[in-house]
């Protein structure tokens, strides 16, 4: 048999972690890595965080899962916390980011359906977006590598250029349900949308009664230095998908919505077996215990600025490799002049973990609770690795 027991859909590298501690990961043979990938923006408290671990252990021993047929004191409490802290009036819990986006898409469609406008079922989405790997979420992007071989895709998505307000407004027609957008594109290359673009989408949604749906699966939960990125745009979406960091490593997602936007999500319209189970709620609550306060968020902004300026200062020393730094808070990207994937591999061989992204960007996504010493360690080792790096001949 040639196929591996793990379905071979990932080009897995030779890092084989078995243990983690704070921002460090340890491999099978004791290799130590500084983890500035954090499970792709998931482990926002690092590895083995005592509060998160303790809460999960306690809840696992108390009650792990019950059906959503029963009342959920745990779900009600965490939903109430999200409602108190955000624009939202109501929350649906999922097990992943793609499921949170799926719920967001269904909520947007059902809003118009409930108003007797079932034909308003198409979302305008944006180039190089990433919304997940389900059929609906790959249909919502123009990235061919995600879609190849999976036709027929789901109708009801129209892709226009990211951050181009004119193109977005021109795409509105009688079937438009709203916009689905990452305020800071993650996989697409750490690209924050402009304030004008987001404000323009909001205005169009207000004027035409459309749904503004934010995918904050990667940029949400304190990563940009506010609890959610939308706060920094001075507007609120109607619907928001959250996941990745929200469970700190435990599989958890959430679809947040206003009361108005959720008008169609009545009994029987949606569901999930695991979604919002007591164990997941304990993980989410533990993460929010740590991150959902101004002191922690201020710390993220400060660490983000420190890391960003250290990276910017390093660039002139390696200007054959690096072009610029982009992003917000601790969702940062270094735009590279040579292949970012090859450089990420090189860093890995030197014990530094980062993640490649589109647009030839290297993502820097550390745990949010790192301190100055970790920032310094990362930048010093990155700079040393850059100095020793030989740009592959094939790269431009």
Ligand X SMILES: *Cc1c(COP(=O)(O)O)cnc(C)c1O
For residues 197 to 236, the per-residue mask of contacts with ligand X, x marking binding by CB under 6 A and - elsewhere, is: ------------------x-xx------------------
Piece in contact with ligand X (CB under 6 A), picked from 103-111, 182-190, 205-213, 333-341? 182-190
Contact between 186 and ligand X by CB under 6 A: the answer reads yes
Which of 75, 97, 237, 245 contacts ligand X by CB under 6 A? 97
For the segment 46-65, give every residue that binds ligand X (CB under 6 A).
none
Contact between 98 and ligand X by CB under 6 A: the answer reads yes
Per rule CB under 6 A, count of chain residues that contact ligand X? 15
CB of 187 to ligand X, least distance (A): 6
- Biggest alpha carbon distance in the chain? 63
Piece in contact with ligand X (CB under 6 A), picked from 128-136, 258-266, 360-368, 384-392? 128-136
CB of 93 to ligand X, least distance (A): 13
Contact between 96 and ligand X by CB under 6 A: the answer reads yes
Contact between 182 and ligand X by CB under 6 A: the answer reads yes
CB of 371 to ligand X, least distance (A): 26
For the segment 132-161, give every residue that binds ligand X (CB under 6 A).
132
Smaller CB separation from ligand X, 98 or 279: 98
Q: Mapped to the 3 state alphabet, what secondary structure does the chain carry?
A: CCCCCCCCCCCCCCCCEEEEEECEEEECCCCEEEECCHHHHCCCCCECCHHHHHHHHHHHHHCCCCCCCCCCHHHHHHHHHHHHHCCCCEEEEECCHHHHHHHHHHHHHHHHHHCCCCCCCEEEEECCCCCCCCHHHHHCCCCHHHHCCCCCCCCCEEEECCCCHHHHHHCCCCCEEEEEECCEECCCCCEECCHHHHHHHHHHHHHHCCEEEEECCCCCCCCCCCCCHHHHHCCCCCEEEECHHHHECECCEEEEECCCHHHHCCCCCCCCCCCCCHHHHHHHHHHHHHHCCHHHHHHHHHHHHHHHHHHHHHHHHHCCCEEEEEEECCEEEEEECCCHHHHHHHHHHCCEECEEECCCEEEECCCCCCCHHHHHHHHHHHHHHHHHCCCCCCCC
Burial 101-127 (b: 16+ CB within 10 A, else e): bbbbbbbbbbbbbeeeeeebbbbbbbb
Contact between 246 and ligand X by CB under 6 A: the answer reads no
Contact between 39 and ligand X by CB under 6 A: the answer reads no
Which of 79, 201, 229, 243 contacts ligand X by CB under 6 A? 243
Smaller CB separation from ligand X, 22 or 188: 188
Piece in contact with ligand X (CB under 6 A), picked from 27-35, 158-166, 179-187, 259-267? 179-187
Smaller CB separation from ligand X, 122 or 219: 219
> Using CB atoms, what's the residue nearest to ligand X?
97
For residues 354 to 373, the per-residue mask of contacts with ligand X, x marking binding by CB under 6 A and - elsewhere, is: --------------------
Smaller CB separation from ligand X, 126 or 130: 130
Which of 92, 130, 233, 343 contacts ligand X by CB under 6 A? 130
Q: Which residues are at the interface with ligand X (CB under 6 A)?
A: 96-98, 101, 130-132, 182, 186-187, 215, 217-218, 243-244
């Amino acid at each position: 048999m040639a196929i591996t027991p793990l379905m071979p859909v990932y080009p897995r590298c030779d890092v084989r972690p078995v243990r983690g501690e704070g921002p460090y990961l340890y491999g099978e043979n004791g290799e130590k890595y500084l983890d500035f990938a954090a499970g792709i923006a998931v482990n926002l408290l690092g590895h083995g965080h005592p509060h998160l671990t303790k809460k999960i252990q306690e809840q696992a021993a108390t009650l792990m899962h019950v059906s959503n047929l029963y009342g959920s004191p745990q779900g009600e409490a965490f939903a109430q916390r999200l409602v108190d802290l955000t624009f939202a009036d109501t929350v649906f819990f999922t097990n992943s980011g793609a499921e949170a986006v799926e719920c967001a898409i269904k909520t947007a469609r059902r809003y118009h359906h409930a108003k007797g406008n079932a034909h308003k079922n198409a979302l305008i989405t944006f180039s190089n977006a990433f919304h997940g790997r389900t059929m609906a979420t790959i249909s919502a992007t123009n990235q061919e590598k995600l879609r190849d071989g999976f036709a027929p895709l789901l109708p009801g998505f129209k892709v226009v250029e990211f951050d181009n307000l004119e193109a977005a407004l021109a795409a509105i027609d009688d079937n438009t349900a709203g916009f689905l957008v990452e305020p800071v594109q993650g996989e697409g290359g750490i690209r924050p949308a402009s304030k004008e673009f987001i404000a323009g989408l909001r205005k169009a949604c207000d004027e035409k009664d459309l749904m503004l749906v934010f995918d904050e699966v990667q940029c949400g939960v304190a990563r940009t230095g506010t609890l959610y990125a939308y706060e920094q745009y001075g507007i609120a979406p109607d619907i928001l998908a959250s996941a990745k960091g929200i469970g700190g490593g435990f599989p958890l997602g959430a679809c947040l919505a206003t009361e108005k936007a959720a008008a169609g999500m009545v009994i029987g319209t949606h569901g999930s077996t695991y979604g919002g189970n007591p164990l997941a709620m304990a993980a989410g609550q533990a993460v929010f215990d740590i991150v959902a306060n101004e002191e922690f968020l201020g710390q993220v902004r400060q660490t983000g600025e420190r890391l960003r300026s250290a990276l910017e200062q390093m660039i002139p020393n390696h200007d054959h490799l690096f072009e610029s730094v982009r992003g917000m808070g601790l969702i940062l990207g270094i735009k590279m002049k040579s292949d970012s994937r090859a450089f990420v591999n090189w860093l890995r061989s030197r014990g530094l973990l980062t993640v490649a992204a589109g647009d030839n960007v290297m993502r820097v996504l550390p745990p949010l609770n790192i301190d100055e010493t970790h920032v310094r360690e990362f930048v010093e080792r990155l700079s040393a690795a850059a100095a020793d790096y030989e740009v592959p001949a094939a790269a431009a």
